[in-house]
Chains A and B, each alone.
Chain A
Amino acid sequence: MNEAEEKNGKVIEAVELVKRFGNFVANDRLTFSVQRGEIFGFLGANGAGKTTAMRILCGLSKPTSGKIRVAGYDVYTQSEKIKQRIGYMSQRFSLYEDLTVWENFRFFGGIYRMKSALIRERADRMLGRLGILELRDTVIASLPPGIRQKLAFSIAILHEPEIVFLDEPTGGVDPVTRRQFWEMIYEAAASGITVFVTTHYMDEAEYCNRISIMVDGKIEALDTPEQLKKTYNAGSMNDVFLKLARRNEEQKKE
């Protein structure tokens, strides 16, 4: 945490973030901020621009324009400093399938320059909490998707980052595992890690402190789930989303 961040408690701050691929505008003037310790949901249909925005915040992709700070650092000039303070779990499966659970922990911990004793201690603690200590020396390829996803999340927060970015972490997982996964997210948030999560499951949006809904590259709404339901006079987040999408369609026709 540096001074700029300490002042306002914002760990992520984006002002007029724009990302263009040729003529296509993937992110159209996004302005939002995320408070320390918050679970911030990034919602939207596939192709709405959620992943693009997240990749920019993680320093994996350069923005076209806009003022963006993550963990108090500028994404244009200090992306390597940002990378020391964040964790990332990508949409595509991000563990090495031909390595064992422990070898994955050791590799990623090592890259984050953690001491080997610390890697061992935290890995054992995390596996213990998941109740899968006996899978320590199992190759990832032979594990079911639910366990892999929990492991990927564990490894993303192994180095205790300030912020963890989760890109559709529960894609293709059964409801029970999704529920367990969200318990892990709550635990991480309780330990002080800010969670930035994209999803297109509207029921998951209810679990977030605040959510922003993206439609066609723009942020159409940003508030707490309760407030959004009130504003749009909707019974569930799903209705909120459908109303927004419909409004957008009508605007396009005009």
Chain B
Amino acid sequence: MRTIFYIMQKEFIQVFRNRMMLPIIFLMPLMQLLILSYAVTFEIKNIRLHITDNDNSVASRALLEHFRSSEFYHIFGESADASFGMEQLKKGDIHQQLVILPGFEKQIVTGSTAGVQVITDAINGSAAALMNAYTLSVIESYNREVLSRSPGPPPKQVQVSRRYWFNPALDYKTYMIPGILVLLVTLIGMFLAGMNVVREKEIGTIEQINVTPIRKVQFIAGKLLPFWIIALAELAFGLALAVLLFNIPIVGNIFLIFLVASVYLVVVMGLGLFISTITNTQQQSMFLSWFFLVIFILMSGLFTPVESMPRWALQLNTINPIAYFIRIMRMIMLKGSGFQDIVQPLIYLSVYGITMLSLAVWRYRKTS
């Protein structure tokens, strides 16, 4: 126990003596929260729209007014010839083209079905689907207006009343920030401890430790604990920013978040330390760590819904610690899930963590 204390003491001195380290530790969460929560958004604003109105009637102008007044659309061009819009679409100047065919008003007045044509740049499929959905909702609101003005009883319709639970305003920041906090803790956990060990290998000081009677467990524990504490402090700082700066509600128990985080950190730090035992330079170690990180992050459900992934990917995700923690983090922070809701993944993470740590201890060689 005293041996571990001496290693921890040394690591803390080294971290805090490093002029670069403190700014990195405290600026990183701020920057990540600011950049990612404001820039990475699922909403699409400023859809650039080209309008071709070949009917040029009161009805068609009323429809266009709906688009003009929408905050999501930016009318990028208007022409009587649809081929202009096509050109702009090809060049990538606009996202969507709306064509109102001649006879639009007449069809409405005579009570038959009127049609408009919408062409969407679908290179990014999910963005295209979203833009289409926006367009449909604008046209739908126009439809209701037309129907309300038409004489006679309104046609019977199924009315869907929507309620969004846990994130009622559909604020994407509420959705993103718990995930970003997970990333933050992950980066610290994965890199600080692992890189520290590889750095000692590069400088050669690890020889001086390997020649002492220190036990392998003591060494790994001494390298893990300081950065484990720093990562938890970082999480506290990140959570404080989320609440104070972004007004993200923490519905659940904050201690539960820290309980899960402390177990989760053992998993990623165990992985980072394991990587450090099989590599000799920081370059190798970085490369390998990023390999896992990129796969884990992209499959974690931070940016894309896990539910829509194919079956094999879901199975692969059972070994993705980031996916577990993001899910649990959103459950606790947004839904207020309690201990019994997360006990199963928590047990899984505990087993995972012990496994990774044992691997790191086993693979660490005092004698080459």
Contacts and interface: CB of A to CB of B under 8 A. Distances in A.
Contact of A59 (B7, B209, B366): B366
Nearest to A167: B207
B207 A62 contact: no
B124 interface: no
Interface string B181-217: 0000000000000000000000111011111111000
B10 to A, nearest CB: 5
Contacts of A88: 207-208, 211
The listed residue with most A CB atoms (<10 A of its CB), out of B5, B9, B212, is: B212
A107 interface: yes
Contacts of B164: none
A108 B210 CA distance: 12
B311 interface: no
A83 B212 contact: yes
Interface string A201-243: 0000000000000000000000000000000000000000000
B211 A59 contact: yes
A103 to B, nearest CB: 6
B14 interface: yes
Contact of B207 (A86, A90, A106): A90
Contact of B14 (A61, A62, A92, A96): A96
Contact of A111 (B17, B18, B209): B209
For chain B, the bracket of interface size reads 20 to 34
B205 A111 contact: no
Secondary structure call for the A interface: loop
B255 interface: no
A47 interface: no
Nearest to A115: B2
Given A58-B211, A83-B213, A106 B367 contact: no
B145 to A, nearest CB: 71
Contacts of B46: none
B247 interface: no
Contacts of B2: 110, 113
Interface in B9-28: 9-10, 13-14, 17-18
B204 A98 contact: no
B213 A94 contact: no
A103 B13 contact: yes
A80 interface: yes
A106 B213 contact: no
B308 interface: no
A33 interface: no
A79 B368 CA distance: 12
B212 A112 contact: yes
B143 interface: no
A233 B368 CA distance: 41
Contacts, number: 77
Interface in A76-133: 79-81, 83-84, 86, 88, 90, 92-99, 103, 106-108, 110-113
B3 interface: yes
A35 B79 CA distance: 100
Given A60-B368, A112-B213, A113-B2, A90 B208 contact: yes
Given A98-B17, A103-B10, A110-B6, A59 B367 contact: yes
Contacts of A84: 213
Contacts of A106: 6, 9
Interface string A32-65: 0000000000000000000000000011111000
Contacts of A92: 203-204, 207
Contact of B10 (A81, A90, A99): A99
B10 A107 contact: yes
A99 B367 contact: no
Contact of A94 (B3, B5, B208): B208
A94 B10 contact: no
A26 to B, nearest CB: 13
Contacts of A90: 204, 207-208
A51 to B, nearest CB: 11
Nearest to A83: B213
Give 9 nearest A-B pairs by CB, closest first.
A110-B6, A92-B204, A88-B211, A84-B213, A94-B208, A83-B213, A107-B10, A111-B212, A90-B207
Interface of B: 2-3, 5-7, 9-10, 13-14, 17-18, 203-205, 207-214, 366-368
